[in-house]
Amino acid sequence: MVRRERLAVARARLDLAGALRFLPGRLDEAPAQLAAALDEAATDPELRLAGLVCLARVHRARFVRDGDPAALEAAAEAYARARRLVPRDDAAYGDLLAEWGEVLLERARAEEGRRFTSTAVRVLRESRAAVPQSDPRSGPRLLRLAAGLRLRHTYEGDLVDLREAEYLLELAVRHSPDPLDRARAWRDHGDVQQEIHAHTYAHTHALDRLDRAADSYRRAWRAALEPDDATSDPAALRLAALAQQLRGEVLERLSRPRAALDAYRTSLTLLTRLPAPGTDIDTGTDGGAGPAVLRTRIRALEAVL
């Protein structure tokens, strides 16, 4: 078979594998198609790059279907092979790093994920550095890098990781054009304040980090509701409701029950505006209590005030 015909066959296999990626029942056919395509495209770096990225995405789809962390490891390996085919000054380089970093972070969160955490942080750091801060993609990448640092702190206990995460989230707030990205950054910033408090309270006995957490959650709530269509956007409503719920929890820890009650009431009001009342909050990274739990907390606070 001449080279042109081999490449045509490789492209056809690649197209087929890309379609199989969206068919869970036939997903297992895709790796064989891609292995053949990569062999046929041995002399075409661009086609091999497309094949390796597709292979990584197939393995990610396998993880979604089966929940097997080994699929994420296979995806990470495919991305690592793909990176070697992309020059650092190529526009696709940063996007490839972003996908690879997401996979590594997801693997680090899964069972026995500790050994993947530092690699995830390194790749996410490279991904963040690949775009200027003015780029709209910068905000989400800062959020993911901060998430990786927080996860590494969970495993390693180094306060430096939390300090850097705090700084990165403040950068994300300043440079993200999307109000929901800013809201997510403020929410995560509040979480980091609580994590720093947990790390340092035994030595300082100070509550200032909890005060900062409450303020960050308040800012997250305001940012989530900033768009004109926020009250009809389920994602914005869920995020705003979660921010007020988290704020209420912190205010209770600060012995401010009246302010906590107001926060829980606001959260419940936002939840009742969702298309499907009763659904638990799910912003993609952290869940929150549903309306029934919030009503219980509200009644408990009302009983003592």
Q: For residue 252, give every residue at least 6 positions away whose Cβ sits within 8 Å of its Cβ, in sequence order, or none.
A: 260, 301
Q: Are 167 and 187 in contact (CB under 8 A)?
A: no
What pLDDT does 109 receive? Answer: 97
Structure tokens at 96: 């490839």
Tens-level pLDDT at each residue, the chain (305 residues): 567 888 899 999 999 999 999 999 999 999 999 999 999 998 899 999 999 999 999 999 999 999 999 999 999 999 999 999 999 888 889 999 999 999 999 999 999 999 999 999 999 999 999 998 889 899 999 999 999 999 999 999 999 999 999 999 999 999 999 999 999 999 999 999 999 999 999 999 999 999 999 999 999 999 999 988 888 899 999 999 999 999 999 999 999 999 999 999 999 999 999 886 444 444 333 467 889 999 999 999 999 98
50 vs 219: CA distance, rounded Å: 41
What pLDDT does 278 receive? Answer: 43
Q: Which domains, from first to last, does the chain contain?
A: 178-305 (1.25.40.10)
Can you tell me which residue has the tokens 């390796």?
A: 52
35 vs 24: CA distance, rounded Å: 19
What pLDDT does 232 receive? Answer: 86
301 vs 251: CA distance, rounded Å: 12
